[in-house]
C-alpha cells in the first residue's frame, strides 16, 4: 500500500490570469502520490469552459464596459462569474490514486457531496445536488464543478458562490 501525501495550497492571489496559470501548472505537474487541495479567490472575472464560445455565453459588451475579463478554462463546464465572494476549490491527483471510487466521475460527485454536506453542517442550510454536479439552495445554483482528465491526472474544480456580487454577464439560454 502506497503512502498518500496531501498538499494544501491557499492562494493569496486574486488575479484571475495568474490563478488560471497556476491551475494549469498544477494539472501538468509531477505529483508523485500527492493529492493537491487548493483554495483560491478571483477578482471579478468570467470563466468559460474549454468547448464554449464566449459570444454565445457572455454579454461581451457589458464585460468590456465593466472591465471584467473573460478567460477560458482548460477544463469543461459552463460559464461562471467569479469575484471575491466565490471560493474556488481544486483537487488534482494522479488518476490511479483512488480516493473514493475507481471511477473519475464518481470521485468528482463525491467531492461535490462533501462540499454540500459541509455547507449544511457549517451554515445549517439544506442543499440539493443535481445530476450535473451543481449544488442548489432553494432552487438557486450556488456551486458547480468542472473536470479535466489527462492520461495520468484528474483535475476537479468546484466554485462556491457564497457571497458573490453576480452581475448579468450571461446570455439567457
Task: Specify the number of domains making up the chain.
Answer: 1
Q: Which residues are CB-contacts of 110 (< 8 A; sequence separation ≥ 6)?
A: 99, 100, 101
- Cβ–Cβ under 8 Å, residues 85 and 161: yes
pLDDT computed for residue 173 by the predictor:
46
94 assigned to some structural domain:
yes
Which pLDDT value is given to residue 171?
45
State the Cα–Cα distance between residues 158 and 21, nearest whole angstrom: 17
pLDDT tens across the length of the chain (173 residues): 456 788 899 999 999 999 999 988 888 888 778 888 889 899 999 988 888 898 998 999 999 999 999 999 888 777 888 888 888 888 888 777 777 777 777 887 888 888 889 888 988 888 899 888 888 888 777 777 777 777 666 667 666 665 555 544 444 44
- Classify residue 25: in a domain, yes or no: yes
**For residue 84, is it within any domain?**
yes
- pLDDT at residue 160, as a whole number: 65
Domain assignment of residue 87, yes or no: yes
* 21 in a structural domain: yes
Is the overall model pTM greater than 0.85, yes or no? no
What is the rounded CA–CA span in Å between residue 75 and residue 63? 22
CATH code of 81's domain: 3.30.930.10
Write down the pLDDT at residue 35. 85
Phi and psi for 55 in degrees, rounded to 5?
-70, -20
Whether residue 40 lies inside any domain: the answer is: yes
pLDDT given for residue 27 in this prediction: 83
Does residue 123 fall inside a structural domain?
Answer: no
Under a CB-based contact definition with an 8 Å cutoff, are residues 168 and 62 in contact?
A: yes
Domain extent, residue 52, equals 5-98+147-161
135 inside domain:
no
- Look at residue 64 in the predicted model and tell me its pLDDT: 94
Amino acid at each position: 500500500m502506497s503512502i498518500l501525501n496531501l498538499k494544501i495550497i491557499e492562494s493569496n492571489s486574486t488575479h484571475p490570469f495568474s490563478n488560471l496559470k497556476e491551475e494549469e501548472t498544477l494539472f501538468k505537474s509531477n505529483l508523485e502520490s500527492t493529492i493537491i487541495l487548493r483554495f483560491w479567490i478571483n477578482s471579478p472575472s468570467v470563466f468559460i469552459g474549454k468547448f464554449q464560445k464566449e459570444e454565445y455565453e457572455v454579454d461581451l459588451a457589458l464585460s468590456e464596459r465593466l472591465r471584467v475579463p473573460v478567460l477560458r478554462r482548460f477544463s469543461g463546464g459552463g460559464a461562471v462569474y467569479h469575484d471575491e465572494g466565490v471560493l474556488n476549490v481544486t483537487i488534482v491527483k494522479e488518476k490511479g490514486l483512488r480516493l473514493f471510487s475507481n471511477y473519475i466521475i464518481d470521485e468528482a460527485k463525491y467531492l461535490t457531496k462533501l462540499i454540500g454536506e459541509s455547507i449544511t453542517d457549517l451554515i445549517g442550510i439544506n442543499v440539493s445536488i443535481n445530476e450535473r454536479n451543481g449544488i442548489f439552495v432553494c432552487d438557486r445554483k450556488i456551486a458547480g464543478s468542472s473536470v479535466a482528465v489527462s492520461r495520468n491526472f484528474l483535475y476537479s474544480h468546484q466554485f462556491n458562490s457564497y457571497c458573490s456580487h453576480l452581475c448579468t454577464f450571461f446570455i439567457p439560454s
